[in-house]
Chain A
């Protein structure tokens, strides 16, 4: 997840509007475990992405979501027994253990609800991150009187996650290119971790030290910050907030009734 430079309707919105959007989606997703409602919620987020031409970026998360859904399904099928029995993992024709491990409707329902909830939250956050410049996000969080130190930590983390993954992969490939072979089996797997983690951690700490110096050099501790540009909400933001208000009202109405 990283900022993507592009001209889209979502990019042009005020950062605060997008922040509220992500918060609203997370709140609504947590409020219910009804699959229909969650499908609608995830659908709305995806629809917004399609309208803004950012759908392709969301698609990249689909493999992650599918694997998450599969593991959730495995977990709920093995642990939850409620509702009608749909089928059996071990067919009833098998002698002795036939009919073991029933798959219940309740388990499938719960796994589906949890997967949809994660999908909605993940997509909402991704839309926020890929369409908002980090400096605008910091500025808006500063305006909201969030402690600026923590905002910065959050942004550094967000910026570092993708580069860490890339670097880990590179280091691994570099070790392979040097014909490093930690051996097979469990011991080999564990031994193989060290030549990746040690360079990864020391490289990122080196980078963090430089980053810390840079932050200091730019006068962070003087306590005065001036934004590069002061964004003001436009007509689209008002419309966006109104739509969100309607969505929340409708959602809560359906939830209560």
Chain B
């Protein structure tokens, strides 16, 4: 049974998650070879907590960044970032939050964990496709640049999202 959220509560939660994702984009943990940001962790948590409505704050976050508010990674913003080589990852966050949210409407832990992994894979699929197209790389090169360095971080974040989700949802 899906817990239908109140309109006012969706509103307040969305605002909170936009803020959390933005704050998470500014925190980075030095993890070799590339630093880990908490952006995707909060994207997953948005789906975990808000279920299918989790896509709303993520979509708004992408939109606000595109409009020029400094909410993207390291305080960047603008259409230029969204259309730049890494913009695919930002777009991928939206379906990722939706998939994680739909998975969290199920009770079984297997479904939930599968959903989180699928959401992460989806983010990288969007990211790599756009990276390959916009920087005219081959898919193999794009994976080498856009996925390989992040695999450890992504796995840590999926595990962390699941563990945190158990405590807060």
A-to-B contact residues, CB < 8 Å:
22, 26, 29-30, 64, 67-68, 71, 114, 117-118, 121-122, 124-125, 149-150, 152-161, 164-165, 168, 186, 189-190, 193-194, 197-198, 200-202, 204-205, 207-209, 211-213, 215-216, 220-221
Contacts and interface: CB of A to CB of B under 8 A. Distances in A.
A253 B49 CA distance: 50
A202 B49 CA distance: 10
Interface string B4-19: 0011111111111011
B69 interface: yes
Interface in B1-57: 6-16, 18-20, 22-23, 26-27, 29-31, 38, 41, 45, 49, 56-57
Contacts of B109: none
Nearest to B45: A201
A212 B11 contact: yes
Given A156-B19, A158-B19, A160-B18, 13 more contacts: A26-B67, A30-B79, A117-B80, A118-B77, A159-B15, A168-B23, A190-B156, A204-B16, A204-B20, A211-B12, A212-B12, A213-B9, A220-B8
Contacts of B49: 201, 205
B148 interface: no
Interface residues of B, number: 47
B167 A164 contact: no
Given A68-B75, A150-B60, A160 B19 contact: yes
B87 to A, nearest CB: 14
Interface string B135-159: 0000000000000000000001000
B68 A212 contact: no
B76 A118 contact: yes
A190 B6 CA distance: 35
Given A156-B19, A160-B16, A161-B22, A212 B6 contact: yes
Query: Which of B31, B56, B64, B78 has the most CB atoms of chain A within a 10 A radius of its CB?
Result: B78
Contact of A215 (B11, B38, B164): B11
Nearest to A121: B68
B167 A198 contact: yes
A213 B67 CA distance: 30
B75 A161 contact: no
A27 to B, nearest CB: 9
Contacts of B27: 168
A157 B23 contact: no
B74 interface: yes
Contacts of A216: 6, 8
22 contacts: A30-B79, A68-B75, A68-B76, A118-B78, A121-B78, A122-B75, A156-B19, A160-B16, A160-B20, A161-B19, A165-B26, A189-B31, A190-B156, A197-B164, A200-B20, A201-B164, A209-B12, A212-B6, A213-B8, A215-B11, A216-B8, A221-B8
B60 A154 contact: yes
A212 B29 contact: no
A224 to B, nearest CB: 15
A213 B5 CA distance: 12
Interface string B102-132: 0000000000000000000000000000000
B52 to A, nearest CB: 16
A221 B168 contact: no
Contact of A205 (B8, B10, B16, B22): B16
A75 to B, nearest CB: 11
B11 A153 contact: yes
A26 B56 CA distance: 24
A207 B9 CA distance: 11
Given A121-B68, A189-B29, A202 B8 contact: no
Contacts of A198: 164, 167-168
Contacts of A68: 74-76
B45 A208 contact: no
A44 B57 CA distance: 33
